Amino acid sequence: MDGLKTTLGLTAFGILFGTILGVCLAIGRSYGKRPLPFFIIIYEKILRGIPLLVLLFLLYFGLAQIGIHFDPFAAAVLGLGLRSAAYQAQIFRGSINSIPEGQITAAYSLGMSRLKAIRYVILPQILRFSIPGWSNEFTILLKDTSLAFSIGVIELMRQGRYIQVLAPDLILVVYLLIALIYFILVFSINKIMRLVEKKYQIAGYQAEAHR
Amino acid sequence: MTMLEVKDVYKSYGGVAILKGVSFMMNKDETKVIIGPSGTGKSTLLRCINQLSPPDKGQVWLNGEEITNPQSNINKMREKIGFVFQDFNLFNHLTALRNDSIGREKEKKIEKEAAYKRAMDELTRVGLEAQSGQYPAQLSGGQKQRVGIARALAMDPDLILFDEPTSALDPELIGDVLDVMKSLCGKVAMLVVTHEMGFARNVADEIIFMEGGIIVEQGPPKEMFTNAKMARTREFLGRIGALYGDEEGR
Amino acid sequence: MAVDFGQFFINSLPDLLSGLGYTLLLTFISISAGFLLGIFLALGRVYGNKVINGFCVGYIELIRGTPLLVQLFIIYFGLPTIGINFSPIQAALLGLSLNSGAYQAEYLRGSIQSVESGQMSAARSLGMNKLQAIRHVVLPQALRISIPAWSNEFIYLLQYSSIAYIISVAELTAEGKFIAAYTFRYLEVFAMIAVIYLVLTIVSTEIIDRIAKRLRIPGIGAATRGSLRDL
């Protein structure tokens, strides 16, 4: 079951990377100075317009061609993270948009610098609002780790493949089991996130419905 | 034969009894108005009649056929009963014309052309032929409601139920709708739930006063407004009459 | 270098186009089949009795809780062990459609539920039975509301069709790997492919945008404010 550990590892690092980058992108796009939002939009458009598989190939095989080598795991985390960041940026941006203008104005009037205002006033609120969309992205990432198998990462799927070669008759059972494992993971994550959401809810303050 | 007979209707929602044994009758082409404080089951009664909310107990008979019988074809019966909603409930994705014609098209399986023509006739009757190609979102509240009335009329009903038809309208638009309703008097049976006392007083054949889920009193307007038997009726009509006035502005 | 690249591009074109053909085939068929499946599931969830509802929920949760790749493997590698064989493209179409159906069911359900209940009441009062009411009143409105989510699903399928490569379907990504394998020019090939996908994405979004504007119900602006995708 090492594959499982790898899967979880990919997910963890991927989502961490994706979230941090995603938050930066979202803030950069909404509050950044002139050329920054433009570049961020381009980044998002590109990262959301190409399949994850192609991205992984580009990073692992393509870059190797010009001398930049990644080991499969790193390439996978990079690919998953970069892509996830683009999607998460959209989620966070949606949350930012649903925060009333007045919040930042009030922060400024208290003498906060832009950075402080973002850190203490905007960020706490966006993070809470984004929980539903974010947990959705989390499970998507978890499922996408299955694609890392194609650049040689030995995660759950690849282990399945190995077993397939060794015991061809049991294939159906094996994959059903793998499906079950994923399902349990996804299900648990959803349950946990719902609890987290409840715990951190700002009393009475409902977010705009996310799509 | 009485056209409509409501017998002993009971209805509860979530454990709370709304209607506690309501019975009355209506004849062809009569106009009856139901009045009473809000929340006393007036709208619920209407919905029980056309089975949008089937009653828990009791029966409703239309032209000798029992609507409340689970065996009867409710859809066929509903074609004979028109319903005008407080919130209009026009079909947002259809023009005014099609809103009115779709009933005939689909139910009575009439040719599209014939259905359109009939719908157009009704729209003209309510004064909206110029708006036939517009969508609900482009119409004013009063116009929407008139389209709704035309929609009910296009089905050739024996009876039209009006559920507070003017409550969602701006004051100046109420008049148009009431005029349309007045013009229908005597041509089709109407059972109207409303707070418009002027209409009740001048147009109704009979007024039914409901409170607490039962009919407190019913009678011709003249009698109800000037000489009601029950004290509660006198109290209610006195208060409301003073608040809303009646049509003539007296 | 640039000339060389240009030449390379032209040489690869036939293979890439053939791959593109498969990609589009996969996308279009899956989104349509998924749509039909999605409507059934959504209607089952909104209007069905406990049994139907339970079945629909079960199916949707299962599909959405597991990766597409696993589902494809089960269909392509797993089923043969109990005697059901599919060709790669059949397996891919089946898998993508079943998968898409579950996701489409969710947003279709949301749209159906957001058509106010008053519409249903009005339809029933005219004497329509449930089926007629759904067909003539609820669905026309729900479908229009669904357009943004539907276009997202289209883009999603466009990209995830690349997974079919893993079960040997010769679509765009597979062609890319193939070309790269014997030319070793991974970077250029996949950059080209990335661009192709990008162009497809942008063009499709634009087209769906236009169609949505045509289908607008005048006065109801919810689904068509500005551009659909918040790219």
Tell how strand B81-84 and strand B189-193 pair up: unpaired
Whether residue B83 lies within 8 A of chain C, CB to CB, comes out as: yes
Is B250 part of any domain? no
User: Tokens standing for B71?
Assistant: 């065996």
pLDDT tens for B148-203 read 999 999 888 999 999 999 988 988 889 889 999 999 988 899 999 998 888 888 88
Contact C122 B83 (CB under 8 A): yes
Q: Is the pLDDT of residue B142 over 50?
A: yes
Is B180 part of any domain? yes
Cβ count near C62 (within 10 Å): 14
Alpha-carbon dihedral sign for residues B70, B71, B72, B76: positive
Q: What average pLDDT does this structure show over B78-106?
A: 86
Is B249 part of any domain? no
Closest Cα in chain C to B136: C219
Is B88 part of any domain? yes
Contact C127 B87 (CB under 8 A): no
Chain A residues touching C82 at Cβ < 8 A: 172
Domain residue spans in chain C? 2-224
How high is the mean pLDDT of chain B? 86
Whether residue A82 lies within 8 A of chain C, CB to CB, comes out as: no
DSSP label at residue B8: E
Chains sharing 3 or more CB pairs under 8 A with chain C: A, B
Chain B residues touching C220 at Cβ < 8 A: 92-93, 137
> Residue B9: which CATH number?
3.40.50.300
pLDDT tens for C29-79 read 999 999 999 999 999 988 888 999 999 999 998 898 888 988 888 888 888
- State the residue range of the domain holding B129: 4-244
Burial level of A109, CB count in 10 A (0-12/13-18/19+)? exposed
**Contacts for A127-131: CB closer than 8 Å, 24+ residues apart:** A128/A200, A128/A201, A128/A202, A128/A207, A129/A95, A129/A98, A129/A99, A129/A207, A129/A208, A130/A91, A130/A92, A130/A94, A130/A95, A131/A193, A131/A196, A131/A197, A131/A200
Whether residue B79 lies within 8 A of chain C, CB to CB, comes out as: yes
Contact A65 C77 (CB under 8 A): no
Question: In chain A, how many domains are there?
Answer: 1
Whole-number pLDDT of residue C230? 35
What gap in Å lies between CA C32 and CA C153, rounded to an integer? 11
Helix residue ranges per DSSP H, chain B: 42-49, 74-80, 96-106, 112-125, 141-153, 171-184, 197-203, 221-227, 231-244
Whether residue C80 lies within 8 A of chain A, CB to CB, comes out as: yes
Question: Do chain C and chain B touch with ≥3 beta carbon pairs under 8 Å?
Answer: yes
Whole-number pLDDT of residue B240? 67
> Residue A37: which CATH number?
1.10.3720.10
Q: What angle do CA B69, B75, B78 make, to 5 degrees?
A: 90
Interface of A with C in 109-168 (CB under 8 A): 139, 142-147, 149-150, 157, 160, 164, 168
Rg (CA), chain C: 21
Is B194 part of any domain? yes
Contact C193 A182 (CB under 8 A): no
Is A164 part of any domain? yes
Whole-number pLDDT of residue B101? 87
Nearest by CB: C127 against B75, B87, B92: B75
- Reading chain C (231 residues) residue by residue, the pLDDT tens digits are 455 667 777 777 788 888 888 889 889 999 999 999 999 999 998 888 899 999 999 999 889 888 898 888 888 888 887 778 888 888 899 999 999 999 999 888 888 888 878 888 899 888 888 888 888 888 888 888 888 888 888 988 988 888 888 887 878 888 888 887 877 777 878 888 888 888 888 898 888 888 888 887 776 544 333 333 333
Contact B79 C119 (CB under 8 A): no
Q: CA nearest B195: which of B180, B181, B209, B215? A: B209
- State the residue range of the domain holding A100: 2-200
Whole-number pLDDT of residue A197? 78
Contact B45, B2 (CB under 8 A): no
**Contacts for B228-236: CB closer than 8 Å, 24+ residues apart:** B233/B209, B236/B35, B236/B36, B236/B37, B236/B209, B236/B211
Least confident of A120-129, B33-42, B138-147: A120-129
Q: How far apart are the first and last CA of chain A?
A: 36
Alpha carbon of B216: minimum distance to chain C alpha carbons (Å)? 28
Whole-number pLDDT of residue A32? 77
Question: At residue A198, what is the residue type?
Answer: K
What gap in Å lies between CA C136 and CA C130, rounded to an integer? 10
Contact C132 B106 (CB under 8 A): yes
B interface test, pick of C125, C137, C139 with most B CB neighbours within 10 Å: C125
Whole-number pLDDT of residue B110? 67
Splitting chain A (211 residues) into consecutive groups of 10 residues, what average pLDDT does each group show?
A: 77 87 83 82 86 86 77 85 87 79 73 73 77 82 84 74 72 80 85 81 48 25
Q: What average pLDDT does this structure show over B100-119?
A: 81
Closest Cα in chain B to C117: B89
Q: In terms of pTM, does the model score above 0.80?
A: no
Residue range C2-224 forms a domain whose CATH class is mainly alpha
List C-alpha distances in Å: C156 to A134, B153, B178, C204, C205: 18, 48, 53, 11, 11
Tell how strand B159-163 and strand B189-193 pair up: parallel
Q: Kindly report the backbone phi and psi dihedral angles of residue B33, in degrees, each rounded to the nearest multiple of 5, phi listed first.
A: -120, 130
List C-alpha distances in Å: A157 to A153, B222, C95: 9, 84, 17
Whole-number pLDDT of residue B248? 43
